Every structure is written in structure tokens, then in C-alpha cells.
Amino acid sequence: MMNELENISTKQLEIELEQRRKREKEGTKPKQVENPNWMPLREICQEYINCLDSEEYCDDDFSHYIYETALQALFGKNVFDWVNKQKG
């Protein structure tokens, strides 16, 4: 095998390695679940609307909670393991 590799340029090997890394990374990307559970998203959105309609304090982080709940509904509860890994 080493003899075969000697005939391949360093540039070609680097390209192949980059393509393999890209395929590996792509393979771990979350996929949408077939039947999302929308109930948690519906509930938090309703909670936000109710909060805005009341005289109570509404947490400024509601939009972030909605974002997290939406991604978890679409991609599963562990989606942020992958997201955080990508963000470094």
C-alpha cells in the first residue's frame, strides 16, 4: 500500500483527507425527527403571549427559550450537543 501512496501527490492526499473529514462531519449533523412533538413549543409560545398580556414581568430570554424549544422539537433533545460542538 505504501508503494501505491508514493504515486499520489501530497496535494491529492490533502484533498482526499479534507473530503473524508467533511463526510465525517456531515454524518453527525442532526436530522429532523419524523414526527415532531410540537406541544412544548406550543406551550412556551402560549406562555409568552400570556406573559405579555399580563402585568407580570416577562423574562427577556423568552425568545431564546422558544428558539431552543423549536430546535429540540425538530431535531431531538440532544441537538444542542451538536450545536455547541460546532460553535466550539
In DSSP notation, 18-70 reads HHHHHHHHHHHS----SS---HHHHHHHHHHHHHHHSSS---TTHHHHHHHHH
* 7 or 61, higher pLDDT: 61
Tell me the per-residue pLDDT of 39-70, one tens digit each, with 9 for 90 and over.
999 999 999 999 999 988 888 899 999 999 99
pTM of structure: 0.67
- Confidence (pLDDT) at 33: 94
User: 66 to each of 12, 24, 47, 49, how far by Cα in Å?
Assistant: 45, 30, 10, 12
- Confidence (pLDDT) at 2: 61
Model confidence at 27, pLDDT cuts 50, 70, 90, reads low
Question: Is the predicted pLDDT of residue 36 greater than 90, yes or no?
Answer: yes
